[in-house]
Amino acid sequence: MLAEPDDTIAAVRKFNRDYTRTIGLLEETLTGSGFTLAEARVIFELGAGGAGIARDIARELRLDPAYLTRILQRLSKDGLVSTRPNGEDRRQRDLELTAAGKQTLAGLQAAADLRTGELLAHLGPRERQRLAKAMAQVTALLDPAVPAPDVTLRAHRPGDIGWVVSRQARLYAQEYGWDGTYEALAAEICAAFIRNFREGREYCWIAELGGEPVGAVFLVWQSDEIAKLRLLHVEASARGHGIGAQLVDACIAKAREAGYRKVVLWTNDVLGSARRIYQARGFSLVEEERHYSFGKDLVGQNWELEL
C-alpha cells in the first residue's frame, strides 16, 4: 500500500537527517578544508561555470545576496576570486577563480572524492549501481526541471517472465483486491508461453523507464490467423508516459508483420485505463460476461481488432 502524504513527509525528513549526518554537512567545515559548506559551494559553482555574476550564483545556490557578498569578500581577500566589470551590465561584476582559486578547487574536489570513496567502500558493484539509480530517481521526482527518462521496449530475457507474474500479482492485489488465484492464472499463461514458444509468431515486450522494468505485454498464437494480446500492465509509478499505448502498438505492429488477420484479448471492465487504450486503437467489444474470479465479482470482456 502506498504511503500516506504524512508518512511520506516523515520519511523524507528522516532521510534528510540521516543523509546530512552521513556526508558530514553538519561539520563546521567541508571535508576539513577550512571552508564552510556555503563557501565551498561558491568555489565549486565558479569552477563549474567559469565566470559568473553574483546575482546568478545567489539564485542558483539559494543564498541570501548579503551572505554571498560576505563569502565573496573573504574569498577575494584570500586571493581565490577575482572580479571585473560585466560587459553587458556595468552594475554587475564578473567573478572567476584565480590560479590559486583553481588550485583550491582541485584540492576540494580531491577531498570530496576521497570521502565519497570511503563512504562507498563497503558496497559492491551491484549495490553501487542500485544506489546511483536510486539517487537519479530521487532527483527526477523532486526536480520537475529534470527531463523525463527515456521509455524503451525490449524483448524478454531470462528472469523477466517471473518478474511479470510477481509484479502483476502485487499490482492487482493492491489496486483491485484480487487474490492469489490471479497470480496462478498469470503463472499458467507465462509458463505456457515459455514451454510452447513459437519464434516469429509470439512475443513478449518489457518496457523500461530509465533502464528499470516498468511494464510488459505478450502477443501469443491462438491460431494461424489470430493472435492474442495478454497480460498488459504498467507499474503505477510509471504511468503518464504513454507506456501502455506503446506496448499495445508494438503488439499490433508485430501482429501485422507476422501475418495475423486479427488480434483478440480478454480483460475485465474494472481495468479502465487499458480499455481506453484498446478503444483508441480500434478494438471492438464483442462480448461481455459476468463472472466471479480472483475473489471478486467481475465483468469479463472480449475485444478484437481486424488487421
CATH number at residue 225: 3.40.630.30
Question: For residues 209 and 137, is the Cβ–Cβ distance under 8 A?
Answer: no
Position 164 in a domain: yes
Q: Is pLDDT above 70 for 77?
A: yes
CATH of the domain at 14: 1.10.10.10
Claim to verify: residue 46 and residue 181 sit in the same structural domain: no
Residues 218 and 265 in one domain: yes
Q: Is residue 134 part of a domain?
A: no
The answer to whether residue 133 sits within a structural domain is no
Least confident of 6-20, 115-129, 222-236, 263-277: 6-20
290 and 206 inside one domain: yes
Domain range spanning residue 42?
5-122
Domain boundary among 75, 104, 122: 122
pLDDT of residue 150: 80
Do residues 89 and 181 share a domain?
Answer: no
Report the number of distinct structural domains present in the chain.
2
Q: Do 211 and 301 fall into the same domain?
A: yes
Does 160 lie in the same domain as 92? no
Q: Does residue 136 lie within any of the structural domains?
A: no
In a domain, 277, yes or no: yes
pLDDT tops 80 at residue 91: no
Is 226 buried (19+), middle (13-18) or exposed (0-12) by CB count in 10 A? middle
178 plus 298 within the same structural domain? yes
Statement to judge: residues 195 and 247 lie in one domain: yes
Whether residues 43 and 101 share a domain: the answer is: yes
Mean per-residue pLDDT for 297-303?
96
Task: Answer yes or no: do 282 and 156 share one domain.
Answer: yes
> How many angstroms from the chain centroid is the CA of residue 200?
31
Q: What is the pLDDT of residue 265?
A: 97
Tell me, yes or no, whether 192 and 117 share the same domain.
Answer: no
Question: In this structure, is residue 141 part of a structural domain?
Answer: no
- Cα atoms found within 13 Å of the Cα of residue 287, Cβ hemisphere only: 7
Backbone angles phi, psi at 197, to 5 degrees: -55, 130
Q: Say what the pLDDT of residue 63 is.
A: 85
Residue 184 reports pLDDT greater than 50: yes
Residue 25 has pLDDT above 70, yes or no: no
The one-letter amino acid code at 117 reads: G
In a domain, 261, yes or no: yes
In angstroms, the CA 38 to CA 42 distance is 6
Average pLDDT for residues 70-85, to the nearest whole number?
Answer: 87
User: Could you tell me the pLDDT band of residue 1, with boundaries at 50, 70 and 90?
Assistant: very low
Asked if the model's pLDDT at residue 257 lies above 50, the reply is yes
CB 233 within 8 A of CB 167: yes
Q: Give me the chain's average pLDDT, please.
A: 87
Structure confidence at residue 186 as a pLDDT band (50, 70, 90): very high
Q: Are residues 19 and 166 in the same domain?
A: no
5-22 mean pLDDT: 79
Domain end residue (candidates: 102, 122, 142): 122
Q: Is residue 143 part of a domain?
A: no
Task: For residue 2, name the pLDDT band (cuts at 50, 70, 90).
Answer: very low
